[in-house]
Amino acid sequence: MTELFDFVGGGVASSSPLVGSDTEPTIFELSVPGRKSSSFRNSGVDLLDPASILESRFLRSEEVDLPEVSERDLVGHYTRLASRQYSVDMGAYPLGSCTMKYNPKFADSVAGMPGLNRVHPGSPDELVQGWLELLVMAEEYLCEITGMQAATFQPAAGAAGELTGLLVIRAYLQHTGSKANKIIIPDSSHGTNPASVTLSGFDVVTVPSDESGLVDTDALAKVLDGSVAGMMMTNPNTLGLFEVKITEIARMVHEVGGLMYYDGANLNAVLGISRPGDMGFDVVHSNLHKTFATPHGGGGPGSGPVAVSGALADFLPGPKPCRLSDKENEFGWYMPPRSIGRVHSHFGNAVVVARALAYMVYNGSDGLKMASDLAVLNANWLKASIADYYEFPFDGVCMHEFVASALQIKKETGIRGLDIAKSLFERGFHAPTVYFPLIVEEALMIEPTETESPQTVRALADALIDIAKRAHDPETKDALHDAPTTTPVRRLDEARAARNPKLIF
């Protein structure tokens, strides 16, 4: 401790061995007895003895072992730790299917307004008119973007939106007397889709993709009958391809009495270009924390609002904000007559909705369309740039993302998709999604998003090309097996961690 104290002193200077070091002491190693992170001048007021106001059973018999550090050391410690974490603010995050794009800080400023973030969710309607108007406006914008008639912001994430949408479908079918109990999903669907189907009480039916990576309509026709409650899919699909037969698919499902559910994970590709409602979908969940650039990752908070066609509006969760028809510019609450009930308390993750609305208003309809245009352009440019070095099982023009395969590289060199992904960390990029969708061996699912500049996309392409070249060089390929070796955390034994987890509660 003495040796550590010698260079820590009252604070850590920029020349300190801690700055830029491969190791960071724990907060207890920085602790010095008697040191405090804050202190106040003696006001002459005696300190209150807790024992004088609390029963002994509420008091600890021993002092808590807490670190004793200065404010300077405390801030420095956590700032250095934070700088070791990769984020969308640090660089490109091409995590396919996740749309990890940069979040504009003006939206944070809006969400930080006292009139929004200092409001208690249980306040009377007359004191939260601004919030109610904001939520109603966000619903109107979202319905215009998706081609739906009504929406709820209660679901707090995409998976919660999936479950909510499916419960709405179930309630609607029960109301109509339908006994349908099957939901069809493509074999390339998101992993949450079959889980949500099961949780909502339906049975899962999977249809395969054809040689183009799209839904095999012949196979779909064979499973369509009166037992089908609906079909759950996204467009573009998880291979980054637009389902060109989507209106035909919707017609086929509707003809047997089923409903179409749109997983909005890939909505970022079609803003202002096409709308799920126009494609034939009846239910749409969207991920505000993806498409509309609110903070994404680290466990949330998210928002997965569900928008529906007019026939399903009466079944949405409630109560929901609304305009009062008898009073101009006044807002209140409305309970849909056949509502499935609450799926989240109060407004849902309302501050996420405020950020998303700020993003929509700031960009406008033309700006949102430009975002999708650039997302598609960046993905196709990146795909073309690495085409000589990676396989594309389903080739052709992609949308906002694409799936490459490292299968041939693995056969020729032994370097796997995981090795390639880990090697990107050493080159200043986050790794893409790997081994998904499951129908592509050694999959690398890459989504550059519209927020990355041509220079960044070019640098990402160069990094992927360099890794592919090193994989074929006997003198450099072995290093790829160990990557990353220059990051704060090196390659982990993931297989061992999965077999022998150490859970801390």
How many domains does the chain fold into? 3
The amino acid that residue 297 corresponds to is: G
On whether the CB atoms of residues 4 and 31 are closer than 8 A, the answer is no
Phi, psi dihedrals of residue 364, rounded to the nearest 5°: 70, 175
Q: What is the pLDDT of residues 388-421, one digit of tens each?
A: 999 999 988 999 999 999 999 999 999 999 999 9
Q: What is the pLDDT of residue 292?
A: 94
CATH code: domain of residue 283 = 3.40.640.10
Residue 45, in any domain of the structure? no
Q: What is the pLDDT of residue 2?
A: 39
Residue 251, in any domain of the structure? yes
Helix, strand and coil content of the chain, in percent to the nearest 5, comes to: 40, 10, 50
**307 and 188 together in one domain:** yes
- Domain end (from 362, 377, 399): 362
On whether the CB atoms of residues 399 and 242 are closer than 8 A, the answer is yes
- Is the pLDDT score of 333 beyond 60? yes
Q: What is the pLDDT of residue 8?
A: 38
**328 and 184 together in one domain:** yes
Residue 90, in any domain of the structure? no
Mean pLDDT value across residues 468-482: 96
Residue 59, in any domain of the structure? no
**343 and 471 together in one domain:** no
C-alpha to C-alpha distance for 415 and 89, rounded to whole angstroms: 30
Average pLDDT, the chain: 91
The DSSP element (H or E) to which 403 belongs, if any, is strand 402-405
For residue 150, the enclosing domain spans 105-362
**118 and 210 together in one domain:** yes
**153 and 126 together in one domain:** yes
Task: Say how many Å lie between the first and final Cα of the chain, rounded.
Answer: 30
The sign one gets for the Cα dihedral 357, 362, 367, 373 is negative
Q: What is the pLDDT of residues 36-63, one digit of tens each?
A: 887 766 677 777 888 899 999 999 988 8
C-alpha to C-alpha distance for 409 and 464, rounded to whole angstroms: 12
C-alpha to C-alpha distance for 264 and 192, rounded to whole angstroms: 12
Residue 177 CB neighbours (<10 A) = 6
**190 and 224 together in one domain:** yes
On whether the CB atoms of residues 168 and 315 are closer than 8 A, the answer is yes
The amino acid that residue 267 corresponds to is: L
Which range, of 4-18, 89-103, 343-357, averages the lowest pLDDT? Answer: 4-18
**219 and 284 together in one domain:** yes
Q: Which two tokens stand for residue 420?
A: 């390639």
